[in-house]
Chains A and B, each alone.
Chain A
């Protein structure tokens, strides 16, 4: 399936000698190695970009738009500049002098580094104050006076997609990096950034042949990544014509190319480095602060640092709110024969990677089901809200919420057990997916089996009585990993035989350093703990597309594998010729081998299928609407797990995050103003909120091309939690809530509505 190619270059520096090497297959993979950086993370010494300050640097504080949509009439910085200690105030016009076309973005070049001419959401950066003292910068930023001519805003994604809605961008500006978006260039008079389509079979015929047709609309609220390490970027001049950017980013390679493009510089003049990330979850992808900080540093010719507060995260990037309309035709026996899916993604004011989210999650939005007739439309929509981008699952959890809630509705309507209903419809090995791609190395039955076992599905559940009712539910989901993409790795064997891996995968807590060390160690016969992983520095570590989409174990893992195999082969060749000794008994000293390898993926929509399932048992307080999740089982197919402990914890971590998104996390945006932009007002799950019984369960269906059979799994735990809980809610109180999150008030309102004694709407 995947067309790998490997290029290698080798240089032997010193003659071999005395360090004994074990043969490959040395038990490094499929072993729960502790994280390499364990000590640094418990003694306070772990390196985060957050820790960095540079001599003579200025702190930047961003002044933000107070209105959701409007023309900028004037920006008055007089009062700010009058504050003692203010070094400069930078506006969009200043940036335009440095960068004539200062619009950036991974999918569309639509986002100005600082607002130009107009603002498109409340919270949009309008100016930056630079000062040696962060408190001074903050005080002065409050004093920047901006005069606006307000324009009519639009917030709802469906309303924004309709003709006559206020237009947010005059014309569409797709990025040249995505040739498939080129046709959108210059399109005007629309808020639809992109519409993705999938067609299979004959939808109308499918509906005609259906015994039952179900049509529902589901909603997802907006939520936020909230990594605990703030977004932080520093930039400094590197000689007269170079720039170094230190940034808490998941995609240093992309930062380099995008900043170079903006500046009109060759990429070799821009250096981007990262350290450990204090969480990312998709929020720190592509460009966030980097272009702004780089521009400020170049304008004032001093190092500049900008770190966002937690509040500012809410104005920077969110998960997409989405409306999903689902129409499904089924036979009496439960076989789904036709499905129409239309999704509107609330992308906010700037596209970020939203069009790709719409497109990619659209591809799998009919679910992991074998359906002959399918029509999928997935629309990326601009609105006057903060921009939305990738969040751990890339749109998949929003559509799974819809199709797995509806699966439950259909199963119940046809009086088929929900688990059995899924068995009758799932995609099996060798069958074509909606996109035509064949399913390979998948086993959804195994996921259902595991769910049935762990949920004790055959045993009846006590549904309770009085004001506490119990219910249980399950869900399954599918995601395509990103393709085609490139990862490149270098494995260095140093003079003393110690080993270093250079790769641009960012370890943001998922344990990639450890996994890469295990893969290289396996082949080089070195224990993973003894290998050093050099953190991304675009001057040193080779290109990687980004750390996203659960792609690193597979893609970078393969690159590291190829590089390590190459290094090993070279060592063995040297040994064979120089020492004429048996490979397993090779001894060498002061040997150094440098090798490089790259893996590129084919044009198929995914290198491997990501499959997961979840089961939930809950209790509902029928007087308050409060849900208590008593059991949450998250099953994921990791292929052959490189590090089973870390993989299980990824499932639990992702499951807990989605659990928060399901039962209470929600950005409240009122007329474009985020009204709960803080941890006091936007709550994330803490110790006391967790499900009583919370587990991650590995199903291991080895992948033929994965490194040692592995697949990525960082997002899998997100997919199915919401519909599992929503379905359990129905099981408990026979009330279907169509909109996430399932807050107590929303549940109680739905329940009281069903009881015909509704709460008033105030």
Chain B
């Protein structure tokens, strides 16, 4: 690695003043686990890193929002999330996914903001957040804006965050009782591998009929994304294996998988089919509902 200016502002205003909308070699660093990998392989050579580590305060921690949802500070480490009873009680599907997200040392250091801003399609929390709904608070010299999570991931390692914007928090809405959630992660090689496919599902059932449904796929595709055609097949249908299979088939037909080390495109398509169905089934069986 090459040397760079490392600045550690004490306030958010100072931090955003140090970012630069034009200069790609200036970036914020939080836990830095992903950024360091890019720097070590010289994919990214910063001239200035703006460390967010001194900005604890509001940026760190989990609070209950109005409506029973949570506001999670962007600098909250993934381990803090993993061990949070509040998170476990509100979104057990997230707590569960965090257990197998990379490894403990990475989770000890990596932050939620960094996890999202990296835009890596293999990450575990983005598909879950796509199904839970929510919004991301982005702050720059121009002020704060809320980006709906559904608008955040725009392409392969691309997000809608501007170069000079910082994520400060993520709002996740409260979940109504009776919602079924699950995250299914399939690794084709070792247990700690990046997933071949990740599938998050969220649906509510009333009198054995599905009233609302969200399905998000990651890793197989260039970005984490909702699969609307599959969701549509679930709504107003009974929560049965046949229905789940039809939705899974539709999802498999809809996705445009990217071949990589974790599988060819056709294998990934097949794995989308298998794991969408399994996620829907597991959600029902586990009764792991979003409202705890």
Contact = CB atoms under 8 A, between A and B. Distances in A.
* A–B proximity contact (CB within 8 A): yes
Interface of A: 135, 138-139, 142, 623-624, 626, 660, 664-665, 668, 675-676, 680-681, 683-686, 688-689, 743-745, 748-749, 759-762
Contacts of B270: 748, 759
A139 B2 contact: yes
Interface in B1-56: 1-3, 37, 42
Contacts of A142: 42
A142 B42 CA distance: 9
B274 A623 contact: yes
5 contacts: A135-B1, A668-B261, A681-B261, A759-B264, A762-B265
B188 interface: yes
Interface stretch (B63-71, B151-159, B191-199): B191-199
A664 B261 contact: no
Contact of A675 (B37, B190, B192, B261): B261
B88 interface: no
B261 to A, nearest CB: 5
Given A759-B266, A761-B266, A686 B261 contact: no
B189 interface: yes
Contact of B191 (A681, A688, A743): A688
Nearest to B277: A623
Given A664-B188, A688-B192, A745 B264 contact: yes
Given A624-B271, A748-B270, A686 B188 contact: no
Interface of B: 1-3, 37, 42, 186, 188-194, 259, 261, 263-267, 270-271, 274
A144 to B, nearest CB: 14
Given A139-B42, A686-B191, 15 more contacts: A624-B186, A624-B271, A664-B188, A664-B189, A664-B190, A680-B37, A683-B189, A683-B192, A683-B193, A686-B190, A688-B191, A688-B192, A745-B264, A745-B267, A762-B264
B186 A686 contact: no
Contact of A680 (B1, B186, B194): B194
User: Which of A142, A668, A745, A749: most chain B Cβ within 10 A?
Assistant: A745
Contacts of A683: 189-190, 192-193
Nearest to B42: A142
The list of the 3 closest CB pairs from A to B, nearest first, reads: A688-B191, A664-B189, A683-B190
Contacts of A689: 190-191
A626 B2 contact: no
Nearest to B278: A623
Nearest to B103: A686
Contacts, number: 61
Contacts of A665: 189
Contacts of B261: 668, 675-676, 681
A142 to B, nearest CB: 6
B165 to A, nearest CB: 28
B190 A762 contact: no
A664 B261 CA distance: 11
B52 to A, nearest CB: 24
A626 B265 CA distance: 17
Contact of A748 (B1, B2, B190, B267): B267
Contacts of A749: 267
B259 A762 contact: yes
Contact of A686 (B1, B192, B271): B192
Contacts of A135: 1-3
Nearest to A759: B266
Contacts of A761: 264, 266
A680 B122 CA distance: 12
A745 B259 contact: no
A71 B231 CA distance: 57
A684 B190 CA distance: 7
A745 B263 contact: yes
A660 B192 CA distance: 13
Given A139-B2, A745-B263, A624 B274 contact: yes
Contacts of A664: 188-190
Contacts of B266: 759-762
A665 B261 CA distance: 11
Contacts of A688: 190-192
Contacts of B2: 135, 139
A214 to B, nearest CB: 30
A623 B270 CA distance: 9
B282 to A, nearest CB: 14
A624 B259 CA distance: 16
A142 B1 CA distance: 11
A467 to B, nearest CB: 9
Contacts of A624: 186, 188, 271, 274
Contacts of B274: 623-624
Contacts of A743: 188-189
B41 to A, nearest CB: 8
A688 B104 CA distance: 14
B106 to A, nearest CB: 11
Nearest to B267: A745
A254 to B, nearest CB: 33
A135 B190 CA distance: 32
A743 B194 CA distance: 15
B114 to A, nearest CB: 17
B199 to A, nearest CB: 13
Nearest to B192: A686
A171 to B, nearest CB: 38
Contacts of A676: 261
A759 B190 contact: no
Nearest to A743: B188
A744 B259 CA distance: 15
User: Which of B42, B188, B265: most chain A Cβ within 10 A?
Assistant: B188
Contacts of B191: 686, 688-689
Nearest to B1: A135
A684 B193 CA distance: 10
Contacts of B271: 624
A686 B193 CA distance: 10
A138 B40 CA distance: 10
Contacts of B189: 664-665, 683, 743
A710 B271 CA distance: 50
Nearest to B273: A623
A367 B218 CA distance: 46
A761 B191 CA distance: 26
Nearest to A676: B261
A744 B188 contact: yes
A760 B269 CA distance: 10
Contacts of B188: 624, 626, 664, 743-745
A135 B2 CA distance: 7
A470 B240 CA distance: 27
A287 B171 CA distance: 58
Nearest to A681: B261
A675 B261 CA distance: 8
Contacts of B1: 135, 138
A437 B37 CA distance: 54
Contacts of B267: 744-745, 748-749, 759
A744 B188 CA distance: 6
Nearest to A745: B267
Nearest to B263: A745
Nearest to B191: A688
A689 B186 CA distance: 14
A349 B192 CA distance: 33
